[in-house]
Amino acid sequence: MIYLDNSATTPLAPEVIEAFTSYMNTSFGNPSSRHALGLEASKIVSSARAKVAKAIGCGADEVYFTSGGTEGDNIAILGAANIKKGKRIVTTAVEHHAVLNTMKHLESLGFDVVYIKPDKNGQIKLGQIADSITPDTCLVSVMHVNNETGAIFPVDKIKPILSKIAPRALLHVDAVQSFGHIPFKPAQWGIDLASVSSHKIHGPKGIGALYVRKGVALKPTVFGGGQEKNIRSGTENVGAIASFAVATELINFEEAAKVQKIKDKLLNALLTVDGAVQNGGGENESPYILNISFGKVRSEIMLNALSNEGIYVSSGSACASGTRGSHVLEAMEAPLPDSAIRFSLSRYNTLEEADIVIDKLIEIEKGLRR
């Protein structure tokens, strides 16, 4: 098996599996319970919060556990949207559907949402964002790394512009595809809210975190027992939270150089296929994501043929697999969106695997074309 669909989810790290098994077997108490088992669980959650905060680069009191990136995006956007501070919201046309569908809901409530389109390389320029912000803006939500093309957006430079034009507005960043892969510094960059997810960094599914800058007041969207300081009520998933913390301790940015070599090898070889074009290719791209269209073979056919060989890739976002086409490639006006294949890498991939993928894909493409 060669797994190249890490943007959809990553395999669990061995250390995470060990921790998850241990915590689920021995530390199953409810952190809100006042007996010894509950107090032990509460301490585990507190310790994990500090570890995740260290990885994000913020205080432990600025970390709120969620069920993942989708819930984090929803809590941040719905909690920050405030029509009294302004009706305009600025985002991009290539956000994850967790953001885009939340924006559609806000439009139905009377908000004016501006969707910035990328250039042909999938890049969003800072000037586009600046031109879209008005004094009536209450929220800007821009992802850090696009999950289909790997394009890196200039989220580190937005806050000064926002503070000058719409000082009461908040800045939210979906950092699901960047956290743990490339440096992400929300506190230094003036970001108010940021969503991250465990299962993109070799942690368990169903757990993530929302960074909320100290002093930012969010309206709760989930009501219940008041856990996570009323921002996200619900009994904490202690085993998943603790395992997520273990995954953050394994983050190593030096791995990106090795991953970049694998990406470069795939890119250089696969672009020799007749009719192949890269979707993206801008200066700022994540080393972990590569998107190529093989113009003479449709995505589904290529994907299934590779899957039969034990090579697992995707044709776009797994969370939008039931929708028609890629909204990202459509917004980019990509020339061959129906033949796009996304290769997304992790620390566990190798150059030897890349060689196998190249050989198999070229062989399959020739056969399918015939």
Amino acid at 352: E
d(Cα 298, Cα 149) in Å, to the nearest integer? Answer: 18
d(Cα 330, Cα 90) in Å, to the nearest integer? Answer: 19
287, 264 contact by CB (below 8 A): no
Classify strands 208-212 and 193-197 as parallel, antiparallel or unpaired: antiparallel
Classify strands 88-92 and 112-116 as parallel, antiparallel or unpaired: parallel
Helix, strand or coil, per DSSP, at residue 168: coil
Residues 226-235: contacts with CB under 8 Å, at least 24 apart: 227/31, 227/32, 228/64, 228/65, 229/64, 231/64, 231/75, 231/79, 232/64, 232/65, 232/66, 232/71, 232/75, 235/30, 235/31, 235/32
**Active-site pick, 2, 93, 267, 319:** 319
d(Cα 263, Cα 261) in Å, to the nearest integer? Answer: 5
| Strands of the chain, DSSP E | 2-3, 63-66, 88-92, 112-116, 137-141, 170-174, 193-197, 208-212, 276-278, 289-294, 311-312, 340-344
**Range 85-122 burial, b when 16+ CB lie within 10 A, else e:** bbbbbbbbbbbbbbbbebbeebeeeebebbebebeebb
329, 279 contact by CB (below 8 A): yes
User: In this structure, what token pair is assigned to residue 13?
Assistant: 């790290």
**Contacts with 105 (C-beta within 8 Å, 6 or more apart), sequence order:** 78
Give the 3-state DSSP-derived string for 86-97, with helices as H, strands as E and coil as C: CCEEEEECCCCH
Known catalytic membership, residue 58: no
Q: Which residues are catalytic?
A: 319
